[in-house]
Structure 1
C-alpha cells in the first residue's frame, strides 16, 4: 500500500469502554483505530506508533486528559499530532484551558457520530495541508540557498580569470612594438576587465546589503565633484539626445569649483548617483533637461529630475528588484541597488512622477548628523 493509500490512524483514549465503542464505530470505515484506557498507555502508544489524530477524554483516573495533552505537546516526537478533546467537561473555561494546551478542537459528550467524522476529517485535512506546505517551504528554502551558493561561487570564481585580463594589458603595452590600433584594442581589453571587476564587486556588495551584513565605510567626500565627474562621463549619451545636464547646490547653480561635502561611502555613492543619472537620461525625452540638486540638511537630499514620466505599471514597483519596463537590455537592478545603498547608509529613497508636469524626481535621503552645516550637505 502506498503512502497516498494509507488509512489515517486514530488513537482513542477513554477509560469507559462504551465511549470507546461509540467513537470506534463512528470512525471504523476508512480509519485504523487504536485505543488506550489510561493516560500513561496513551503516551506510550503515541510515542511508539504515532497516530494521525488523537481523540482524548478529559476525566480519567491517575492522569487526566489535560496532563496527557500537555505531555504530548511537550515532546517533539508527538507535538505535531492534532488532539481533539471528547468530554463531558464542556464549560467555556474547560474548553479554553484545553485549547490553550494545544488541542485543536472540543467535542461534547454524548458525541454525535456525524460530528465526530466531520471534525476528524477536517483536522486530518488541515494537518496534511500544513505538512505539504512545510515540505514546499523546505524545498523553496533549499532552492534559494542553492541559488545563493551558486551565485556566490560564480562571483568569486569569475575574479580569477579577470586577474589575467586586467594584469596582462599593461605588460603588453610596456613591451611596445604595437600599432596605434593594436594599442587601442589592448587598452579596451583592460578597460572592459576593470568594468567587469567593478560589476562583480558591486554584485557582492549588494548581496551583503540584501542580507544586512554589509560593513559600511563612510568618509567625508565632495558630492559636487562626484556629480561633475558623472556629467563628464555621461556627456556622450546626453549629447546624442541633446539633453542638458545641470547641477545645483543648496538651490544655487553650480560654479564648477564649490564643494558640497557629505559623509558616505565613496564608491557606493558614485554607483548610486551613476544609476540615477543613467536612468534619468534614458527616461528623458529629446532636448530635455536632467538636473541633480544637492540640498543641505540632515538628512542630506540628492534629487535627480528628468522631463519624463514613469509608466503607470512601474510606479508601485519602481524600486523593486528586477523591475523594468520597455527596456530590451534592462536588468531592473539600477533603482533597486539605489534603494539598497541608501538604506545601507541609514537613509532611503522616494520617487515622484507627474503626468501634469511631465517630470520625474528620484530623491535620495542620507542622514548626516554633525555633517550638515552651511554648504556642507
Structure 2
C-alpha cells in the first residue's frame, strides 16, 4: 500500500507515520509532504493508493489537485482520509466521484484513527490492528499539538479516602487526577492509560500489596518503568525512606499532606518527566537524522559517479595526451574521494576502522600537484616541488591521503595571491615516519587561526566551506598522524603533516 501523508505540521505528520508503522506498513511505502503544491508534484510522479490529508480543505483546489487525469494513473482507486480540525463537516461538493473518502476529526485516538482507515480501505493492515473492543482512552500517540494545552495526568494510589480527598483538593486545579484504591485497580488503569500518566503518588501501607512491591513491579514493566513514583507515607524513618528509593521511587512526602510541599514536589517531578520525554524524542530524531545523512551520502555517491564516468570516457578523445592524463587522474581522485566521503562521517562518529597499508605517498602527492596546477591556472600560481621524485613510504590508508593532499594543496592555491608561489615537499624521516609540507604565500586571517581546524571555521571566507582543514585534521589523526600550521613573518603559511612509519 502506497501512502502519502500531507499536513502543514511536522509533528502531526510524524505522529501519523508512527501509527502507520505500528500497523505493519513498511517505511518505504510511506511518504509525507507539507503543502498542496507538494501533493500535486508527488502525485504526478508516483502512484498513491491512500492520501491522509490534513490541509485547509479547499475542495475546489483539492479537486483540481486530485483530478485523475492529472495525477499518476494508479491501477487502484485513490482513497482520501480527511483530518478535520473541528467537528464541522467539510463541504465535499464537487469532489470527484472517482475518489473515495472518509472524514475524521481532531483530536482522535489511535484506535479511532485505525478504525477510520479500516473503514475507508478495508485493508488487512488496519483490520488486524484493531482491538477486540475499541476503548476510548486518551493516548500520547495523538499529535503533540492536540495535547499541548492538556494538563498533566497524575495517578493517586491510596486506600484511605480522606487522604485521597486532601491530595485531590491540592492538585485538581493544575492536573488531571486518576484514583485507584489498591494496587490491583492501579494496574488496571495503567494497562489502558500508561502512556498519558505523568506521575504516580502511592501510599506505602496498603492491603494485599504494599507500595514498595507496587513500585518494584512498575519498574520491571517496559510500559511503566519510566513513570516517576512519589511515596505518600507516615513512615519518615531513614530505613523506610532508603527502602523507597531502592525500589525506584524518586521522592517521598510525609503525611499529613501539606499543600505547598505536595504542589512543589509534584511540579518538580512532572517537569523532569516532560524534559526527559523531550530529550528522548530529540535523541530519536538525531538518530533518524544521522541515518538520513548516511542515506543521502550513499545516494549522492551513486549519482555523482555517472557524470564522472562520462568525463573519463570522453577524456580518451582529447588529442593532448598530457591533458587527457591530467583529466583522468583528477576524475579518478574525485571518484576515490566520493567513495571515501562516508568514511569522514564515520570518523566523526568514532565508528571508522583504519585499513592501513605501506604506501608510496609521492605518487599521490604528484597527482595532487597536477590537480593544483589546473586549479591555479587562472591565478597564474606556480607550484614548485621537492623530494617527491623518490619513493616516500608510510603506513596509511591511501584513499584518505588522496583527500588530505588534495585539500591542502587546493587550499594553498586558493589562498595564494595572483601569480603567487606554492611550495610542496615530502620526505621520510630518520625514524621511518613521513613528513609532508605545503607552503604558500598569503596568511590565514588572525581571527580564525585559533580555531582553524574546527568545523566551519573558515566558512566566512570568500571561497572556503570551512571543511577543508577540518576534514584534513580528522583524516590525519584517524591514521595516527599529526597536522599543524604556522604563519611565517605574516607573509606565508606552512602546513605540516606527519604520518607514522611503515609497518
TM-score range, shorter chain: 0.7 to 0.9
SS at match of 1:166: helix
Q: Which runs of 5+ in 1 are unaligned?
A: 174-181, 248-253, 371-377
Aligned to 1:6: 150
SS at match of 1:207: helix
Give the one of 379, 392, 395 matched to 1:260: 392
Aligned to 1:349: 482
Aligned to 1:88: 234
Aligned to 2:269: 123
SS at match of 1:292: strand
SS at match of 2:168: helix
- Counterpart Cα distance in 2 of 1:242 and 1:164: 29
Q: Does 1:334 align with 2:468?
A: yes
SS at match of 1:114: helix
Give the one of 61, 71, 90 matched to 2:217: 71
Give per-residue Cα distances to partners, 1:184-218, cap 9 Å, x unaligned: 7x997997687456424413312134225666554
Q: Does 1:151 align with 2:286?
A: no
The answer (yes or no) to whether the contact 1:284–1:290 under 8 Å persists in 2 is no
> Structure 1 residues 57, 315: closer, same or farther in 2, change over 3 A?
farther
Q: Does 1:112 align with 2:258?
A: yes
Instruction: Tell me: higher relative CO, structure 1 or 2? Use CA pairs within 8 A at least 6 residues apart.
Output: 1
- Counterpart Cα distance in 2 of 1:194 and 1:360: 27
Instruction: State the Cα distance separating 1:156 from its structure 2 match.
Output: 0.8
Aligned to 1:223: 361
Q: Please provide the CA RMSD for this pair.
A: 3.7
Instruction: State the Cα distance separating 1:288 from its structure 2 match.
Output: 5.7
- Counterpart Cα distance in 2 of 1:310 and 1:45: 66
SS at match of 1:302: strand
The answer (yes or no) to whether the contact 1:12–1:33 under 8 Å persists in 2 is yes
Aligned to 1:279: 411
Instruction: State the Cα distance separating 1:71 from its structure 2 match.
Output: 1.1
Give per-residue Cα distances to partners, 1:303-356, cap 9 Å, x unaligned: 4344544324433442334442554332333223322322342x1433343586
The answer (yes or no) to whether the contact 1:290–1:307 under 8 Å persists in 2 is no
> Structure 1 residues 96, 306: closer, same or farther in 2, change over 3 A?
farther
> Structure 1 residues 84, 274: closer, same or farther in 2, change over 3 A?
same
* Worse-superposed segment, 77-86 or 96-105: 96-105
- Counterpart Cα distance in 2 of 1:309 and 1:161: 36
What TM-score, normalized by structure 2, do the two folds share? Answer: 0.59
What TM-score, normalized by structure 1, do the two folds share? Answer: 0.76
Give per-residue Cα distances to partners, 1:65-110, cap 9 Å, x unaligned: 1221121122111122221112123334543443343322221222
* Worse-superposed segment, 279-288 or 153-162: 279-288
Aligned to 2:178: 34
SS at match of 1:5: coil
SS at match of 1:368: coil
The answer (yes or no) to whether the contact 2:381–2:416 under 8 Å persists in 1 is no
* Worse-superposed segment, 189-198 or 207-216: 189-198
The answer (yes or no) to whether the contact 1:349–1:362 under 8 Å persists in 2 is no
- Counterpart Cα distance in 2 of 1:227 and 1:284: 19
- Counterpart Cα distance in 1 of 2:164 and 2:433: 71
SS at match of 2:148: helix
The answer (yes or no) to whether the contact 1:169–1:187 under 8 Å persists in 2 is no
Instruction: State the Cα distance separating 1:228 from its structure 2 match.
Output: 5.1
* Worse-superposed segment, 315-324 or 47-56: 315-324
- Counterpart Cα distance in 1 of 2:303 and 2:459: 32
> Structure 1 residues 287, 3: closer, same or farther in 2, change over 3 A?
closer
Greater fraction of residues in helix: 1
Q: How does 1:36-75 map to 2 (within 5 A)?
A: 36-50=180-194, 51-75=197-221
> Structure 1 residues 110, 362: closer, same or farther in 2, change over 3 A?
farther
SS at match of 1:320: coil
- Counterpart Cα distance in 2 of 1:148 and 1:266: 23
